[in-house]
Amino acid sequence: MVQQFDQTEMRFFGRVLSAEELDLIREIVNDFPTLSVTEISRTICELLEWKRSNGHLKSHECRQMLERLRDQGLLRLPEVRRSGPTGPRVIELSRKSEGGAEISCSAGELEPLCLKVVKAGRGGESGLWRELIERHHYLKYRAPVGATLRYLVYSGQRPDEVIACLMWTSPAWKIEARDRWIGWDSQTRSRNLQLIINNARFLIMPWIRSKNLASKILGLCARQVPLDWEQTYGYRPVMLESMVDKSRFSGTCYRAANWVLLGQTTGRGRMDRYRDKEAMAPKLVYVYALEPDVGRRLRSAAAPTFLPINEERQ
């Protein structure tokens, strides 16, 4: 049995939905039972103008919102249609992601380094990126939530070999140490949170032994990623963040790249806004300011300025 909404508003992914909007969502779901969940998500995004800064619909976030409402007994969604492949749930590993010959050298011997944006797709560099993360990263591959940029890192001395993989995503919704350091309130955080991006994956191929390579890659990221993000999403971030599992790593490469240690997480998931997930191991919180007095900028009442985007990067 579907329950009635008993709240005047709800918050999902930084968007506050009023009671009227929640009623509209229920009405759409009830009135169009033949539509797929994806089609319903896109319809809701259009009606509520739930879009990214580049004008693209936030249909992925909307679908997760619908599934949460369903799990809470507030909606009844159509059955998932099994009409064909919807994306790799299980990553099939091939020989191209197997380990290479051991490389032991200084970071300087691998320069110049090149960060290459990985475009969306099932094969090619996108497939290789997923395989490498699934095979060699301790967190494995998970479909990202929100805005995302993925990279393969190449060496000018070994142009045909991938030496590292990275992924930058939308930031964690709430981190006590970070939010205390910035000094913003919840309203300001909702408005300016997108000015922070999160280093969600960082993998140097395990057969590469090169002192200071990780910090050099992070230094290159600080220069290039904000430009790529602006070109892709229409605005430039002002701060980078990362959460490091202290049971596995000390964060030495972040400190060497001039990131600042703010403290540690409370052990909730980075997207656990409702405190309903299992506790996780606390992680070290590192940040890197991309402009002076970044705290003041993030506390500012001014919303981000969005620029025209390069549609070819989508």
Q: Which domain holds residue 13?
A: 9-71
Whether the upstream peptide bond of residue 144 has omega within 30° of 0, thus cis, is no
Q: What is the dihedral of CA 240, 13, 310, 113, to 10 degrees?
A: 30
Residue 185 lies in a domain: yes
Q: How far is CA 129 from CA 51, 125, 162, 253, in A?
A: 27, 6, 9, 22
Q: Which two tokens stand for residue 4?
A: 């009635």
Q: Is position 113 within any domain?
A: yes
Do residue 46 and residue 191 come from a single domain?
A: no
Residues 244, 302, single domain; the answer is: yes
Residues 179 and 241 in one domain: yes
**pLDDT value at residue 303:** 61
Round to whole Å and give the CA distance between 25 and 192.
Answer: 26
pLDDT by 10-residue block (mean), the chain, 314 residues: 54 76 83 77 82 77 85 78 52 87 93 93 88 94 82 92 94 92 90 91 96 97 96 91 93 96 78 48 94 93 58 38
For residue 94, is it within any domain? Answer: no
Helix, coil or strand: residue 245: strand
Same domain, 66 and 113: no
- How far apart CA 59 and CA 40 sit, in angstroms, is 9
In the prediction, which pLDDT does 78 show? Answer: 78
Do 169 and 198 contact (CB within 8 A), yes or no? yes
Q: What is the pLDDT of residue 272?
A: 46
User: Which of these, 202, 122, 194, 216, lies nearest to 168 by C-alpha position?
Assistant: 202
Tell me the C-alpha distance between 158 and 165, whole Å. Answer: 15
Q: Are residues 157 and 262 in the same domain?
A: yes
Any idea what the CATH number is for the domain that residue 164 is in? 3.40.630.30
Number of domains in the chain: 2
Per-residue CA distances from 135 to 138, 158, 208 (Å): 8, 21, 15
Is residue 24 domain-shared with residue 113, that is, in the same domain? no
Residues 164 and 67 placed together within one structural domain of the fold: no
Residue 222 belongs to a domain: yes
Residues 160 and 66 in one domain: no
Q: Are residues 64 and 176 in the same domain?
A: no
| Whether residues 204 and 280 fall in one domain | yes
Q: Of 38, 55, 128, which is closest to residue 314 (Cα–Cα)?
A: 55
Is 84 a domain residue? no
Count of C-beta atoms within a 10 Å radius of residue 267: 12
3-state secondary structure of 184: coil
| Residue 3 maps to a domain | no
Residues 6+ apart with CB under 8 A from 135: 93, 97, 98
Same domain, 41 and 171: no
- Both tokens of 12, joined, read 């999902």
Report the predicted TM-score, pTM, of the whole model to 2 decimal places.
Answer: 0.72
Is residue 102 a part of any domain in this protein? no
Considering the domain boundaries, does residue 83 fall inside one?
no
Q: Are residues 58 and 113 in the same domain?
A: no
